[in-house]
A and B are shown apart, each in its own frame.
Chain A
Amino acid sequence: MTDTQPPHAPDTPTPTTRAADTSTPPRAAADTSAPPRAAGAHVAAAPHVPTDDAWERAHAAPVGWRGRARRRLARRWKLVVGLGIVSTFYVVAVLANFIAPYDASEQTRQQPLAPPTRIRLRDAEGRWHARPFIYRLRLTDPLARTYGEDTSARFPLALFTRGHAYKLFGLFPTDRHLFGVARDPHKPSDTPRNASTSRNANATSSTSATQGTSATQGTSANATPSTSAPPGANATPGANAQAATGANAATQRVHLLGTDEFGRDRLSRLLMASRFSLAVGPLGTLLAGALGVFLGCVSGYAGRRVDALLMRAADAMLALPDLVLILAARAAFPLVLPPTRAGLLLVAIFIAIGWAEMARLARGLVLGLREREFVLAAVSLGLTETRILFRHILPNALRPLVVQLSLMLPAFLLAETALSFLGVGVQEPAASWGNMLVNAGNLTLLNQQPLVLLSPAFAIFLFVLGVRLLSDGLRRDGDQRVR
């Protein structure tokens, strides 16, 4: 029963193509989404229905180890792909500090709403370079926020550059980042060696029409202590001119997804936001699931009065659409909350609302399982009810419960996103996928940079897709074992 690697595995990327080449009818196709048990009943009841041989052949179990392996792989691809996507998201979220080139709340107010930085290998004179580099951005029109490139200086990119300090995994203080602008900008004489952002740049004299007096705010203070930032470098006429045009005096920052209206690096925000969004929704789901399972077991196992009480409460919960309930619950608390407390509040609300569905399912499963022989056996052995419940019934109910959890997860993730989008979830300056999408609601901006503005939406889509595939795969895997 071990997973033999079929030699022709690459030939069968999806079950649908497999289903197609054998012209497979309903339940032989591994990817039907109804519970096969119901469909299987039809085969048993009416095996004579099909008239042609091909139909029957397709229904028979696949012959030989090749067929079986192929089928298993076809069943599993969703599980594998889904698991891959979801775990990638979590790895990225854990490493977000390291991957993000800049601090998520560090502002460069001279460059608001900059387009994604173009990474080049060929310079303006047509020479090729081995190292990718970027040009300095210049705000050509502060009102329309159009940018041009200043090709006088190249800023090569590098891996593992030094940037703002942070703690990796919350434990190890470091200032290395996956990528960034290299420290030694090639050529130009008027660019200082220090590549840290323009804390002390001539921002006050900047004519940047937008806003703000200080170039960067707050968190830039804990950026690497500049090795006595040479004031002379900044004082050179060239740097002054550049500061006046609105660019950073020191260096150009690389913004793969551009900047937002405060000049914050959108990629860094997206990465840091994933931490929040990937924590709140799933945590709420897990805890709500745990509470639901507990209450469901109690309901299915304790007497009728408790059962009736709990199930009526669950009915009331399920009568209302979740988002409306969540909004109502949210309205009871102060609108403006610090991000951590807002996150905890959302988790609490998700628990208070999400248990009902889980309790329903758990109760049903417990009711069904406790009439099975193995439970009777356990009873006749004289085991205590708690032991039977947790050691005998619950393990058997685990898989449908996990599937239900994975179905609840997108709902809560999206609820968090929706609330943050509506301004009552995680609020600025903290980043969440939801509140990053607020900009996309602005028609003018959306017209200018649709893809960049929708990047959090793509993140959401991809993650939800991963979870869907995972739960689909889990469900199918489970069916296979039951049979």
Chain B
Amino acid sequence: MLKLILSRALQGVVVLLVVSALTFALLAAAGGDALGELAGEQGASEATLQELRRVYGLDEPLAARYAHWLSNLARGRMGESFYYHAPVASIIWPRLLRTLALSAAALALALSFSLVLGALAARRRGGAWDRASEFIILLTASTPRIVLALIALAIVARTSWFPVGGAGGETLADFSLLRLLPPAIVLALPLVALFLAQAREGLSAALAQDFVQVARAKGLPERAVIMRHALRDALNPLITLFGYASGSVVSGSVIVETVLGWSGLGALSVNAVRHRDVPLLMGVVIVTATAVLAGNLLADILLRLNDPRLRPRPSAHARTSRRNRSSFNLPASGA
């Protein structure tokens, strides 16, 4: 397990390096920066611009700047935001917490809803619950978050069920469950399509297996059969999906947070783009990538915790790469 975590962490660092280098190069190569906007908007003179470039270290060559940025990052500094005039880390941190709270709520909502409905549907395929879940899958899969977010906004605006204004104050203490609910539901609904389809299929496949028959033969009540036996078998693909969903949630949070006024990382990244705030954007990209990679790693760990069969074997990647060493193998009998 430790080996897995370490190797994954190492891979993750490599991926982060690649991502950051690509983003850095892209943002620098296009030549646009907040200073250019400044020159356009406020008519700053060329001399002022030169001076500002020197202050922000923008006159150095690209590689040097990247190395500088990296070494700062290693020391926990991500530079200063052009727009907010504050250290990037101090801007990102509270918003990261808000986004994490939102994502966790959304994932929990989606997962619990899908598991309950999936279990109901799997118990009798073709029954009312099954048809209902079929419909829900189609509906949630094809309703984009931007649409959902605007509908949620309309509901918030027309009713007085929820407070308007999203995440409210600056501290964690200002969180309120009612505020969290609309964005969390909007974020969760597209995931329901994903999770519910998988839960339904997985559970009904699991229920057809021998060990479920055994459990029933033992006289366990159906609820226990599902909760204790079938569920565990059906959980694996769901956990894998969970890793995928962490990326989807972050993507979705950009829209949801902007529309519903939840001041988190997603809304921040939009602001960074609007103001072409390169240091802030770099910070957001790195933090987001780290969060998504951490989500994937978490999914991997959970997968191994849930399924003992996965623990001792070599990873799928190692197996395929060994097989591909010679270019035309005879097909293996079992494959």
Interface residues of A (CB under 8 A from B): 16, 19-20, 22-26, 29, 31-34, 38-39, 42, 46, 49, 304, 307, 312-313, 315-316, 319-324, 327-335, 367, 370-373, 375-376, 379, 410, 414, 417-418, 421-424, 434, 437, 440-441, 443, 446-447, 450, 454, 457-458, 460-461, 464-465, 467-469
Measured in the bound complex, the distance between the Cα atoms of B285 and A312 in whole Å is 18
The B interface, classified by DSSP as helix, strand, loop or mixed, is helix
Is A331 touching B197 in the complex (CB atoms < 8 A)?
A: no
> Are A460 and B146 closer than 8 Å at their CB atoms?
yes
Q: Is the CB of B150 within 8 A of A457?
A: yes
Q: Are A331 and B153 in contact, CB atoms less than 8 angstroms apart?
A: no
In the complex, what residues of A have CB within 8 A of residue B19's CB? Answer: 316, 319-320
A interface footprint on B79-102 (CB within 8 Å = 1, 0 otherwise): 000000000000000000000000
Q: Are A330 and B273 in contact (CB under 8 A)?
A: yes
From A328, A437, A443, contact of B157 by CB (8 A): A443
Q: CA of A434 to CA of B145 in the docked complex: distance in angstroms?
A: 12
- B231 CB, nearest partner CB in chain A, Å: 16
Question: Which of B137, B142, B284, B328 is within 8 Å of A465, CB to CB?
Answer: B142
- Distance, CA A312 to CA B14, complexed state (A): 9
Interface residues of B in 312-331 (CB under 8 A from A): 320-321, 324-325, 327-331
List chain A residues, Cβ under 8 A from B158: 447, 450
- Residues of chain A within 8 A of B112, CB atoms compared: none
Among A23, A304, A334, A468, the residue within 8 A (CB) of B138 is A468
Judged by a CB distance under 8 angstroms, whether B173 is at the interface is no
- Evaluate contact between A33 and B137: CB separation under 8 angstroms: yes
Q: 26 A–B contact pairs at CB < 8 A?
A: A304-B324, A319-B16, A320-B247, A324-B269, A328-B285, A332-B27, A334-B32, A335-B37, A335-B276, A371-B328, A371-B329, A410-B142, A410-B144, A422-B255, A422-B274, A423-B274, A443-B153, A450-B158, A457-B144, A460-B146, A460-B147, A461-B144, A464-B142, A464-B143, A468-B138, A469-B142
Chain B residue with Cβ nearest A379: B328
- State A29–B259 Cα separation when bound (angstroms): 40
Measured in the bound complex, the distance between the Cα atoms of B201 and A450 in whole Å is: 38
Q: Closest CB of chain B to A385's CB: distance in Å?
A: 9
How many whole Å from A66's CB to the nearest CB in chain B?
20
Beta-carbon contact of B126 and A42 below 8 Å: no
B30 at the interface (CB under 8 A from A): yes
Contacts of A467 in B (CB 8 A): 142
The answer to the question of B293 belonging to the interface, with a C-beta cut-off of 8 Å to chain A, is yes
Give the shortest distance, in Å, between B312 (CB) and chain A (any CB): 24
Contacts of A414 in B (CB 8 A): 144-146
A320 and B127 alpha carbons, distance in the complex (Å): 39
- Are the CB atoms of A454 and B26 closer together than 8 Å? no
- Contact check, B331 vs A373: say whether CB atoms are below 8 A apart: yes
Q: Which residue of B lies closest to A55 (CB)?
A: B208
Known: A335-B274, A437-B146. A24 touches B125 (CB 8 A): yes
Are B281 and A331 neighbours in the complex by a CB distance under 8 Å?
yes
Which of the residues A19, A331, A372 comes within 8 Å of B331, measured between beta carbons? A372
- Residues from chain A with a CB closer than 8 A to the CB of B273 are 327-328, 330-331, 335, 422, 424
Q: Are A23 and B328 in contact (CB under 8 A)?
A: no
- Residues of chain A lying within 8 A (CB to CB) of residue B289: 319-320
Query: Smallest CB–CB gap between B217 and chain A, Å?
Result: 11
Binary A-proximity of B245-260 (CB < 8 A = 1, otherwise 0): 0011011101100110
- New A-B contacts (8) at CB < 8 Å, excluding given A319-B12, A410-B142: A49-B210, A49-B213, A319-B289, A371-B330, A371-B335, A446-B154, A447-B158, A450-B154
The answer to whether B164 and A443 touch across the interface, beta carbons within 8 angstroms, is yes
B114 part of interface (Cβ distance < 8 Å) = no
* Pair B32/A333 contact, Cβ less than 8 Å: yes
| Interchain CB contact under 8 A, B18 and A312 | yes
Q: Report yes or no: A464 in contact with B144, Cβ–Cβ below 8 A.
A: yes
